[in-house]
Amino acid sequence: MMKRGLLLLIALMSIFAATTVAKKLRQPYELTGKVYCDTCRFGFETNVTFYISGATVQLQCNDKSDSKLVFTNTTATDKNGRFTFQVCEDHGDQYCDVVLLKSPLPHCKIIDRVRSHSRVIVTDLNGIISRRRHANNLGVFQDYALPVCGDLYKYYFHSDDI
């Protein structure tokens, strides 16, 4: 009788554990970031940077063994320049990048090659507990630098402390 009770308890615990894992896998990963217009053409965000609505961003996951593309999803940035991807699958055997494809602004459309992509982790097999992931912000160069950029350049690059 004791063995039967113990076996029943183990079976119930196994079912509970399997259900918990299944629910966790069904919760999507949420990947977010922003797309900005680099108004000074510095290669980073400044206090005169603005964020681009309607920029096209793509999530690309490639197999680690042969680099073949196995997953892709495309979205556009919202009015605040923020993009969000909801990903339901674990991509632990792949490497994933968020890639900036296009800016809708005619005066700010030159994609910064250095800031055009961001590696993201889309798996639970790395110790990250949260299902939220943040990609580095992605940048686009404005065609011309704003007049204030000369003063900003002096501020950022000509400090007396150096």
pLDDT at 105 over 60: yes
In a domain, 36, yes or no: yes
Listed residue (28, 49, 32, 48) closest to 118, CA to CA:
32
Q: Please, which pLDDT band fits residue 102 given cuts at 50, 70 and 90? A: very high
In a domain, 87, yes or no: yes
pLDDT at 76 over 50: yes
What are the φ/ψ torsions at residue 10 (nearest 5 degrees)?
Answer: -65, -40
In a domain, 17, yes or no: no
In a domain, 22, yes or no: no
* pLDDT for residue 14: 65
Express each pLDDT in 28-75 by its tens digit: 889 999 999 999 999 999 999 999 999 999 999 999 889 899 999 999
Q: Are 79 and 68 in contact (CB under 8 A)?
A: no
| Domain CATH for 145 | 2.60.40.10
What are 154-160's contacts with CB under 8 Å, separation 24+? 156/42, 156/46
In a domain, 40, yes or no: yes
pTM over the 0.85 mark: no
Q: Are 139 and 115 in contact (CB under 8 A)?
A: yes
Q: Are 96 and 71 in contact (CB under 8 A)?
A: yes
Express each pLDDT in 127-155 by its tens digit: 777 788 899 999 999 999 999 999 988 88
Express each pLDDT in 107-129 by its tens digit: 999 999 999 999 988 887 777 77
In a domain, 23, yes or no: no
Residue numbers of the domain that contains 128: 28-157
Q: Please, which pLDDT band fits residue 12 given cuts at 50, 70 and 90? A: low
Express each pLDDT in 88-100 by its tens digit: 888 888 899 999 9
In a domain, 60, yes or no: yes
How many domains does the chain divide into?
1
In a domain, 140, yes or no: yes
